[in-house]
Chain A
Amino acid sequence: MANERLQYLDPSGRARSGLPDLKPERLRELFIHMLRVRCVERRMLDLQRAGRIGFVGTAKGLEAAIIGSAAALDKNDWLWSGLREGGAALMRGLPLSEYLAQMYGNGNDTAKGRQMSNHFQHAPSHYPSWSSVIGTQIPNAVGAAYAAKLRGSTEVHAVYFGDGASSSNGFHSGLNMAGTWQVPVVFVLVDNGWAISLSSRDQTAAESYGDKGAAYGIPAQEVDGNDVVACHVAMGEALERARSGSGPSLLVLSTYRVSGHSSSDDPARYRDPAEVAAWERRDPLERMERYLLGAGLLQEGDAATLEQGLLDEIDSAIHEQEAAAPVRLKTLVEDVYSEVPRHLREQYNRFLEVAQRHGKAQPGDGAFPL
């Protein structure tokens, strides 16, 4: 049986006994990062509804789980993401301009417009993009952690996934390998209540997701995923355990996906609005704001001012990306291999002839030498 669910701030924002001694500035930062995620995603939904971008999967309701845990990572640690960790990438160094360029799939996108939107990456801060296939990143992270261990590096690999992914092949093979190899990895299971339309209660007959760790010899910690402080502290302990060579652990951050699975989903078709309303009352941002107000670390009105500042910054970044150059046509065949092989050069050149004939090519789309 998994241990008791860790919680430091109750839903009303009151600190429970044993609250760890975090610096006031750190606590404020956690709140601001959460607020930033919510602001960015609100604008992404606006853009999606306006037809400017294609697909948005928000972290609304999950901000404490994602930000609280990811904020505990060191600079050299890796964050292996799923759909909803883009806000953590922003916090760890992904420039807002690159985040937006990915959503637009424009010429500034480091992935060259190849992935559907909401698939972020940032190699400088060790944040590979996920593929969309559920759970495949789990063994990938374990392999990368093996490499870290072999090199004697102190980096830890944190891999994020949802309750749905706990049923995937990758979850089983990844946790099994990690337990066997004792590599520095932290499995972060964000139980957000729903895998599209399947309730997390129907995803498994296990009594708790934490119980799953036992089968692999991996200790688990269940955490109130709407308590940013608890998520932060639990992650810090799991990272420390991995870094000191004591092996992998499983964190289960229990929270609730307040929005639909994505901008293409209508959650009213499969879940009770009363359930959503109940979770909206447990909003992680409001909880942290109430705590900060009570502790005198935030004044009435501060949150609104911060929010306006963030939205202004986001809006100006959006204007820049609206004006970005389109993706070059040559990217159709680049990066399949380290060098563009002859058959792809030929395919592209033939395509380009047709595109040019119809005035669809841009300067810089020139043919490859054969």
Chain B
Amino acid sequence: MTTRTLIQAVNDGLRSAMRADDSVLVFGEDVGPKGGVFLATEGLTEEFGEQRCFDTPLSEDGIIGTAVGMAMNGLRPVAEIQFQDFIFPAFDQIVSEAAKLRYRSGGQYSAPMVIRTPYGGGIRGGLYHSQSGEAYFCHTPGLKVVIPSTPADAKGLLLAAIADPDPVLFLEPKALYRTVKGDVPDDDQPVSLSSLRVVRQGSDVTVFCYGAMVPVASGAAEAAAEKGISVNVIDLRTLLPLDEEGVLAEARKTGRVVTVHEAPRFCGYGAEISALIAENAIEYMEAPVRRVAGFDTPFPNTLEHHYIPDQRRVLDAIEEVYNF
């Protein structure tokens, strides 16, 4: 075990994957000698050369479009989109090509590739360096959507994503890049995709969360414990395909559920969790599902700390479903 920040763990994961497999390559804007704007790719060009870790022209559509072709022709590209907010020019390539290729070709072609991109608020980045766009992508069959919240998962899930035969969108909570530290196994053991992580066992209320909301929910659970409420905190880790059975089991356990994400509420990921429970576990529920989310507005700058769900708002929702 080594103590690492989340961004260091991402770097470790990339390095390990590139050492293990020559077909893995890393590219995107400023990821080469500079090492990326957050330094996720620091030192990779130095170790693996500029053919395997390189800067591209400023073209998200081109980055993902070429990654698809590389993946179709035997490489394992790990493309970086500098901020998730800038991914939309590549939306077409992700949704129309990468995600549908295996299906539309009857399995004759596939696009095993990873798109890494920092998402979420908390860095005073305003509308276009702060968004949480996971729901757009979770509506896309053929794609996998993964979000780590700890350094160990950042490395383990990234290794699993790179090894996966299907395209994976790997959303990194930039607010946690340097604010969380944790033990990371020294070996290169992948963490299975589509598996939940129980962050904290509890018996009264279950909170489903992911990414940067995991520490917020954990803090709220701590505060709830002081009030005598036992909270079960679940880190979903993979949003697509979701471990639906796991979600339902954790919901049934407490009969009271809160979902937390930074993204807007309407058609957000919490809606899917809520619907899943309504369809399959309504008879276990003691209270309506409560969704804590960002506002249904664009992402603000100065007031971002009020937009992003905080411990107080999550605790309020926990108490509300507990007292229902």
Q: Is the pairing of A and B real?
A: yes
Given contacts A128-B72, A143-B69, contact A110 B100 (CB under 8 A): no
Give a binary string over A143-158; 1 marks a CB under 8 Å from any B CB, 0 the rest. Answer: 1111110110000010
Given contacts A136-B97, A176-B59, contact A143 B106 (CB under 8 A): no
The answer for the CA separation of A114 and B109 in the assembled complex, in Å, is 14
Partner of B103, one of A150, A151, A172, A335: A335
The residues of B that contact A111 with a CB separation of less than 8 Å are 104-106, 108
Partner of B69, one of A123, A146, A172: A146
Give a binary string over B63-95; 1 marks a CB under 8 Å from any A CB, 0 the rest. Answer: 011111111111101000000000001001100
A267 within 8 A of B: no
The residues of A that contact B57 with a CB separation of less than 8 Å are 173, 176-177, 180
The residues of A that contact B65 with a CB separation of less than 8 Å are 136, 138-140, 142-143, 170, 173-174, 177
Given contacts A129-B105, A177-B62, A335-B102, contact A150 B166 (CB under 8 A): no
The answer for the CA separation of A140 and B108 in the assembled complex, in Å, is 16
Closest to B72 in A: A144
Stretch of A34-42, A272-280, A336-344 at the chain-chain interface: A336-344
Closest to B100 in A: A131
**In the complex, what's the smallest C-beta–C-beta distance from B257 to chain A, in angstroms?**
19
User: Is B245 in contact with A342, judged by CB distance below 8 angstroms?
Assistant: yes
Closest to B245 in A: A342
Given contacts A140-B69, A169-B61, A177-B57, contact A151 B104 (CB under 8 A): no
The residues of B that contact A169 with a CB separation of less than 8 Å are 61, 89, 92
Interface size class of B (residues with CB under 8 A): 35 or more
The answer for the CA separation of A342 and B62 in the assembled complex, in Å, is 34
Closest to A112 in B: B106
User: Is B165 in contact with A133, judged by CB distance below 8 angstroms?
Assistant: no
User: Is B244 in contact with A151, judged by CB distance below 8 angstroms?
Assistant: no
Give a binary string over B178-205; 1 marks a CB under 8 Å from any A CB, 0 the rest. Answer: 0000000000000000100000000000
User: Is A139 in contact with B62, judged by CB distance below 8 angstroms?
Assistant: yes
A334 within 8 A of B: yes
The residues of B that contact A176 with a CB separation of less than 8 Å are 57, 59, 62
Closest to B93 in A: A136
Give a binary string over A121-140; 1 marks a CB under 8 Å from any B CB, 0 the rest. Answer: 10100001101010010111
The residues of A that contact B73 with a CB separation of less than 8 Å are 78, 143-144, 147-148
Closest to B102 in A: A335
A252 within 8 A of B: no
The answer for the CA separation of A133 and B91 in the assembled complex, in Å, is 12
The residues of A that contact B69 with a CB separation of less than 8 Å are 139-147, 157
User: Is A140 in contact with B242, judged by CB distance below 8 angstroms?
Assistant: no
Q: A146-B70, A341-B241 are in contact. List 4 more A-B contacts (CB 8 A).
A: A139-B93, A169-B61, A335-B106, A337-B102
Seen from chain B, the residues whose Cβ lies within 8 Å of a Cβ on chain A are 25, 51, 56-57, 59, 61-62, 64-75, 77, 89, 92-93, 96-97, 100, 102-110, 141-142, 144, 165-166, 194, 241-242, 244-245
Seen from chain A, the residues whose Cβ lies within 8 Å of a Cβ on chain B are 78, 109-112, 114-115, 119, 121, 123, 128-129, 131, 133, 136, 138-148, 150-151, 157, 169-170, 172-174, 176-177, 180, 331, 334-338, 341-343
